[in-house]
Each structure stands twice: as structure tokens, then as C-alpha cells.
Amino acid sequence: MPINQNVFSSLAAWRRRAVSRAVHRGARWVREAAAVTAGRPGPYRFRRIGTGTRLAFPQGTVFGDPWIELGDHCIIAQDVTLTAGMMPDLDLGPEPILTLGNGVVLGRGSHVIADVRLTIGDDCFFGPGVYVTTTNHSYDDPEVPVGKQWPRADPVSIGPGSWIGTGAVILPGARLGRNVVVAAGAVVRGEVPDHAVVAGAPAKVVRRWDPATGWQPPLRTPAPVPIPEGVTPEQLVALGEWVADEAAAPAGEA
């Protein structure tokens, strides 16, 4: 009897592993087949999808796509919302409403909501859960629920090379300069100059680049050392393994 139980147990375990492998293979196939690219736009009619751009599956809410331009080599992660207009099936005129430059990365679960002009410059990187909107509810009338009052809209622009940290919120009317860093969880409104770091809610400038004196206040960590020219990927892998071995060795053995 124990032998039979072991046989049946082994068969059940093998069956579970086989089913698990099949499910994962199927999931990978679905993610690949349902990704949106210029060659496979799926149900969308974007004004433009650049070469090498990919929207991962599952996509978030997407509408107003004829007024959305996506540059080349953009990476748009799962569950990212991209909308132009306040609701689907509106005629928004001849000009684009939402434009992503080349090389833009939008982290998982981010929302980019454009009722009026919204531009994101080249090589901007967003962490997960970033929220960018051109529109906010008004609360002028104290007798009417806020959600039923007509919203206000103001264009938003994010300069090229900027980094937007996880969970940041970019409010209507925000104008971010070039190579701006927005700290995680910051709430940004108004104008942010080039080469500035902002943090907090509401966000304030906490560091800026001065051409004469460098970063002010000075950076607390040294600049990363670039990889020397001529170093091969194999050498980098070997160096990483050596560092790991050194870190794992008991004290006194290194």
C-alpha cells in the first residue's frame, strides 16, 4: 500500500507540474500576442505608434487613441491608462492631445489623462503608479457635489530626460523643465526649472544644478564610476561572481 501511495503521489505531483508549465507557457503566449505595437495595433487607432514601441498586455483604459501620439522605442508597462478627451468617441479636432516623445518609459499602473494638450519629452522615465492629468474637479459651488461640478483643465508638459518617481502626481498646469527629478510620492504643480529635484506635497525644489558650483546642496553620494572602455560582458559577469563570493566568504578567509 505505501508503494501505491507513493506512485499515485508522484503522478499527481508530475501532473501538477505539467499543468503549471502549460499555464505559464499559455500566459506568456497571451502576453506576447496581445501586446500592442506599430505592426500589431490591436483594437486601437493611435495617431502614431513609433518604431519599437510596445504596450504590454493587459493594457489599462485607453480611449481617444486617434489623438494620441507615441514616439519610437517607448515602453508602456501593464495596466497603464492613456486617455485623450473626457470620454470616448469625442471629436477632439485636428491636433494631437497627448504626445509621448521617443524612448519614454511608463511604469506599471501609471495614468496619463489628457483632456487638453499634454506632452512628455524624449527619454522620460516614470516609476510605477504615476498619475499625470490636465484636468481637476472644481468646487466653486458649496451646494453641488464636487464630482458633479464642471472641471478645470490646463495643459501639462514634462521636459525631456526627466525622471518621475513612484506614486508621484503631476497636476494640471505643471510645466517641468529638462532633466527634472520628481521624488516618489511628490505632488507637482506649477513650473519646475531645468535640472532640479523636487519633493513633497506640494512639491518644492530641494536641489538644483548650478553651472558654476554644481549641485546645490551637494550630492550626498559619489558619482557612479563609468565602466572602462573595452570591458566585455563576460568580464562584468565574472567580476559580479567574484564580488558575490567575497561577500559570502566568512571573515578572515578572503
Indicate which residues carry an active-site annotation: 137
> Running DSSP on this structure, what letter comes out for residue 42?
T
Cβ within 8 Å of residue 180, ≥6 positions away: 158, 159, 162, 163, 192, 193, 194, 195, 196, 197, 198
Q: Which residue do the cell numbers 563609468 mark?
A: 226
Cβ within 8 Å of residue 95, ≥6 positions away: 67, 117
Residues in the chain: 254
Query: Is the bond preceding residue 222 a cis peptide, omega within 30 degrees?
Result: no
Alpha-carbon distance of 183 to 167, in angstroms, equals: 9
Question: DSSP string spanning 45-81?
Answer: --SEE-TT-EEPSSP--EE-GGGEEE-TT-EE-TT-E
